[in-house]
Amino acid sequence: MPTPVSSIRNLGPAYEEACTRAGIHSAEDLRTLGADAAYARLLQTGSKPHFIGYYVLVMALQGRPWNDCKGKEKAALRKRFDAIKAASFDKGRSELEQVLNQIGVIERPVS
């Protein structure tokens, strides 16, 4: 029987619901995909990008407390997050639309 996503430390029911929308139905699926691919799927299926949500996922899959990410490691994760966001969330938007989206003016179309 599959293990719920919410069984992973730091990932609760809301994260599990977002994963389900993204076709990630178990902790095993999430671990197999890895943080970057899973987060890209979350963005592609309507989750709004948020850096903390991304690094919480990274830390969770490593079995670490969510707030264990600091310094150079956090800076490196920010670069990965920005790349995932650009490829999965802002794809196809003009630079102006991307900025408007970042400040919450544009809603992401539901696919």
Q: Kindly write down the DSSP assignment for every residue of 75-99, as one continuous string.
A: HHHHHHHHHHHHHHTSTT--HHHHH
Question: How far apart, in whole angstroms, are the C-alpha atoms of residue 99 and residue 88?
Answer: 15
In 3D space, the residue among 37, 51, 36, 44 whose CA is nearest the CA of residue 18 turns out to be 44
Q: Per-residue pLDDT for 111 more than 70?
A: no
Q: Per-residue pLDDT for 99 more than 80?
A: no
- pLDDT tens for each residue of 24-58: 999 999 999 999 999 999 998 889 899 999 999 99
- pLDDT tens for each residue of 54-81: 999 999 999 999 999 899 999 999 999 9
- Superfamily (CATH) of domain 5-102: 5' to 3' exonuclease, C-terminal subdomain (1.10.150.20)
Contact (CB, 8 A) for 61 and 88? no
Question: How far apart, in whole angstroms, are the C-alpha atoms of residue 94 and residue 4?
Answer: 38
